[in-house]
Protein backbone atom coordinates (compact mmCIF):
# COMPACT_ATOMS: atom_id res chain seq x y z
CA UNK A 1 0.00 0.00 0.00
CA UNK A 2 1.22 3.54 -0.71
CA UNK A 3 0.86 6.78 1.22
CA UNK A 4 -1.75 7.84 -1.34
CA UNK A 5 -3.74 4.66 -0.66
CA UNK A 6 -3.57 5.24 3.09
CA UNK A 7 -4.74 8.83 2.69
CA UNK A 8 -7.62 7.78 0.45
CA UNK A 9 -8.65 4.99 2.80
CA UNK A 10 -8.49 6.95 6.07
CA UNK A 11 -9.16 10.60 5.22
CA UNK A 12 -12.95 10.19 5.57
CA UNK A 13 -12.52 8.44 8.91
CA UNK A 14 -10.24 11.19 10.20
CA UNK A 15 -12.59 13.89 8.88
CA UNK A 16 -15.42 12.18 10.75
CA UNK A 17 -13.37 12.02 13.97
CA UNK A 18 -12.62 15.72 13.68
CA UNK A 19 -16.29 16.49 13.05
CA UNK A 20 -17.44 14.35 15.99
CA UNK A 21 -14.93 16.15 18.19
CA UNK A 22 -16.07 19.60 17.12
CA UNK A 23 -17.76 21.82 19.63
CA UNK A 24 -18.53 24.41 16.97
CA UNK A 25 -17.53 24.78 13.37
CA UNK A 26 -14.20 26.26 14.38
CA UNK A 27 -13.35 24.55 17.68
CA UNK A 28 -12.43 20.95 18.39
CA UNK A 29 -12.66 19.32 21.81
CA UNK A 30 -9.02 18.28 21.85
CA UNK A 31 -9.50 15.81 24.69
CA UNK A 32 -12.25 13.95 22.86
CA UNK A 33 -10.19 14.07 19.65
CA UNK A 34 -7.25 12.43 21.45
CA UNK A 35 -9.52 9.66 22.75
CA UNK A 36 -10.94 9.00 19.27
CA UNK A 37 -7.49 8.89 17.68
CA UNK A 38 -6.12 6.57 20.37
CA UNK A 39 -9.15 4.32 19.88
CA UNK A 40 -8.68 4.27 16.11
CA UNK A 41 -5.00 3.37 16.40
CA UNK A 42 -5.60 0.65 19.00
CA UNK A 43 -8.31 -0.98 16.90
CA UNK A 44 -6.31 -0.89 13.69
CA UNK A 45 -3.22 -2.31 15.39
CA UNK A 46 -5.26 -5.09 16.98
CA UNK A 47 -6.64 -6.18 13.64
CA UNK A 48 -5.17 -4.44 10.60
CA UNK A 49 -6.99 -6.80 8.22
CA UNK A 50 -10.37 -5.49 9.42
CA UNK A 51 -9.17 -2.02 8.39
CA UNK A 52 -8.06 -3.27 4.98
CA UNK A 53 -4.38 -3.17 5.88
CA UNK A 54 -1.49 -5.51 6.25
CA UNK A 55 0.77 -5.23 9.25
CA UNK A 56 3.45 -3.67 7.03
CA UNK A 57 1.05 -0.78 6.25
CA UNK A 58 0.83 0.31 9.89
CA UNK A 59 3.93 2.49 9.64
CA UNK A 60 2.41 4.49 6.78
CA UNK A 61 -0.84 4.89 8.69
CA UNK A 62 1.10 5.97 11.77
CA UNK A 63 2.82 8.71 9.76
CA UNK A 64 -0.48 9.86 8.25
CA UNK A 65 -2.18 9.95 11.66
CA UNK A 66 0.68 12.03 13.02
CA UNK A 67 0.27 14.50 10.13
CA UNK A 68 -3.45 14.86 10.77
CA UNK A 69 -3.00 15.09 14.55
CA UNK A 70 -0.45 17.89 14.14
CA UNK A 71 -2.99 19.90 12.12
CA UNK A 72 -5.57 19.71 14.91
CA UNK A 73 -3.44 19.61 18.06
CA UNK A 74 -0.27 21.40 16.97
CA UNK A 75 3.11 20.48 15.53
CA UNK A 76 4.41 18.82 18.71
CA UNK A 77 1.45 16.42 18.91
CA UNK A 78 1.40 12.86 17.61
CA UNK A 79 -0.23 9.52 18.37
CA UNK A 80 2.14 8.95 21.29
CA UNK A 81 0.99 12.23 22.84
CA UNK A 82 -2.61 10.99 22.53
CA UNK A 83 -1.71 7.92 24.59
CA UNK A 84 0.24 10.05 27.07
CA UNK A 85 -2.99 12.02 27.49
CA UNK A 86 -5.04 8.83 27.96
CA UNK A 87 -2.65 7.80 30.73
CA UNK A 88 -2.99 11.14 32.56
CA UNK A 89 -5.45 12.48 35.13
CA UNK A 90 -6.93 14.72 32.40
CA UNK A 91 -7.34 11.63 30.22
CA UNK A 92 -9.11 9.80 33.01
CA UNK A 93 -11.49 12.74 33.42
CA UNK A 94 -12.06 12.91 29.64
CA UNK A 95 -12.87 9.19 29.53
CA UNK A 96 -15.37 9.71 32.35
CA UNK A 97 -16.96 12.66 30.55
CA UNK A 98 -17.15 10.67 27.31
CA UNK A 99 -18.73 7.80 29.26
CA UNK A 100 -16.23 5.32 27.91
CA UNK A 101 -17.06 1.85 29.20
CA UNK A 102 -14.61 -0.23 31.22
CA UNK A 103 -13.57 -2.49 28.32
CA UNK A 104 -12.81 0.50 26.08
CA UNK A 105 -10.94 2.22 28.92
CA UNK A 106 -8.84 -0.90 29.56
CA UNK A 107 -8.01 -1.14 25.85
CA UNK A 108 -6.76 2.45 25.79
CA UNK A 109 -4.77 2.03 28.99
CA UNK A 110 -3.28 -1.26 27.74
CA UNK A 111 -2.08 0.44 24.57
CA UNK A 112 -0.79 3.38 26.61
CA UNK A 113 1.31 0.93 28.59
CA UNK A 114 2.71 -0.67 25.42
CA UNK A 115 3.49 2.66 23.77
CA UNK A 116 4.74 4.69 26.72
CA UNK A 117 6.68 1.99 28.58
CA UNK A 118 7.35 -0.93 26.24
CA UNK A 119 10.01 -2.48 28.50
CA UNK A 120 7.81 -2.26 31.58
CA UNK A 121 4.88 -3.59 29.59
CA UNK A 122 6.96 -6.53 28.36
CA UNK A 123 8.09 -7.35 31.93
CA UNK A 124 4.48 -7.17 33.15
CA UNK A 125 3.33 -9.46 30.32
CA UNK A 126 6.09 -11.95 31.19
CA UNK A 127 5.00 -11.89 34.84
CA UNK A 128 1.44 -12.60 33.73
CA UNK A 129 2.68 -15.53 31.64
CA UNK A 130 1.52 -13.91 28.40
CA UNK A 131 4.91 -13.77 26.67
- Which of these, 39, 7, 38, 33, lies nearest to 18 by C-alpha position? 33
**Rounded CA separation 57/85 (Å):** 25
- Domain locations along the chain: 3-128
pLDDT in tens, the chain (131 residues): 899 999 999 999 999 999 999 998 789 999 999 999 999 999 999 999 999 999 999 999 999 999 999 999 999 999 999 999 999 999 999 999 999 999 999 999 999 988 988 777 677 667 777 65
**Rounded CA separation 101/31 (Å):** 17
Helix (H, G, I), strand (E, B) or coil at 22: strand
- Which of these, 103, 131, 106, 101, lies nearest to 119 by C-alpha position? 131
Q: What is the pTM of this model?
A: 0.89
Amino acid sequence: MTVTDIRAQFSDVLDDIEERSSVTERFVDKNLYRLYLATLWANVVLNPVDAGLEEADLELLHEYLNERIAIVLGDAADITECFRFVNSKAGELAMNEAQINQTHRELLLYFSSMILDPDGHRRWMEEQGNL
